[in-house]
């Protein structure tokens, strides 16, 4: 039976969706200059990974994928907290969020 790409939703659809979202996130990290937008793009990439985890978990009938999403979410929240704290500290000090600026920082 020939399966129709538009009406038969399979694992591939979710994987392609996830990869497109991941690539958007990566483009954000590479192209944007605002530190906070870069952090947001990283969140986008993590979400893309989550979609593929959940899709695999459903199509292989295995709960482990959902557990992984759990862990990824925790890490993402922690990463956002630390990233934002750093951004706030730097902004308070230098009034600057452009990533270009940080090239000139010396230890």
Partner 1 sequence: MTSDVFLFWFLALLIIGSGLAVLLFTNPIYSALSLAMTMVGVAAVFITLQAFFIAGVQLIVYAGAVMVLFVMVLMLFDIKAEVQAFSSGKISGAIKLISVGLLSGLIVGGIIMSQKSFVGEMTKDAVHMAEIQKLKKSTSPDASSKELGMVLFSKHIFGFEALGVLLTVIAVGTVALARSRGGTHHAK
Q: Strand, helix or coil at 34?
A: strand
From the centroid of its chain, how far is CA 48? 6
Q: Residue 75 in contact with residue 69, Cβ under 8 Å?
A: no
Minimum distance from residue 61 beta carbon to partner 1 (Å): 6
Separation between Cα atoms, residue 70 and residue 85, nearest integer Å? 23
Q: Strand, helix or coil at 13?
A: helix
Minimum distance from residue 102 beta carbon to partner 1 (Å): 11
Q: Strand, helix or coil at 60?
A: coil
């Amino acid at each position: 039976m020939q399966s129709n790409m538009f009406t038969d939703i399979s694992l591939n659809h979710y994987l392609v969706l996830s990869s497109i979202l991941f690539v958007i996130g990566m483009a954000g990290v590479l192209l944007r200059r605002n530190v906070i937008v870069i952090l947001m793009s990283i969140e986008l990439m993590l979400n893309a990974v989550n979609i593929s985890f959940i899709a695999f978990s459903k199509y292989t009938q295995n709960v482990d994928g959902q557990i992984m999403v759990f862990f990824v979410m925790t890490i993402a929240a922690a990463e956002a907290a630390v990233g934002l704290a750093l951004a706030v500290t730097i902004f308070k000090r230098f009034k600057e969020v452009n990533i270009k600026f940080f090239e000139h920082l010396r230890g």
